[in-house]
Amino acid sequence: MTICKLQARDRMYVMLDSIIDQRRSGETIKQDFLQSLVKKHGKDAPEGDDDDKLTDKQLKDNILTLLVAGHDTTTAALTWLLKFLQENPAVLERLRVILIRT
């Protein structure tokens, strides 16, 4: 990995540390996937198999993976949309008309 990528990852880790700390402290509570992850893998999680719990690094890596996956799917969908519209000018024109009307 290049220095820039490592620095970007480290900045994301710092941001995620802050968010995870807020969720664990109860300062911020939301009913979302991140809250479920933090609750399930936290130190005060219900008793169970500790081998299933993620370390903080694993938790952050999973969150980053989900963010990147979401970014990649959105990027791919928009790319294919633009390609389709470029290849189908009649559809593009109908879309323009609809957007102008609304």
The total domain count for the chain is: 1
The pLDDT tens digits for 2-56 are 888 889 888 999 999 999 999 998 888 888 888 988 888 876 666 665 667 888 8
Domain residues for 92? 3-101
16 and 60 in contact (C-beta within 8 Å)? yes
pLDDT at 84: 96
Query: Would you say the pTM of this structure is higher than 0.75?
Result: no
d(CA 6, CA 69): 18
Whether the per-residue pLDDT at 85 is higher than 80: the answer is yes
pLDDT at 26: 86
pLDDT at 47: 64
Residue 74, Cα to own-chain centre: how many angstroms?
A: 11
- The torsion of the CA quartet 11, 12, 15, 18, rounded to 10 degrees, works out to -110
**What value does the mean pLDDT take over residues 73-93?**
95
d(CA 37, CA 14): 18
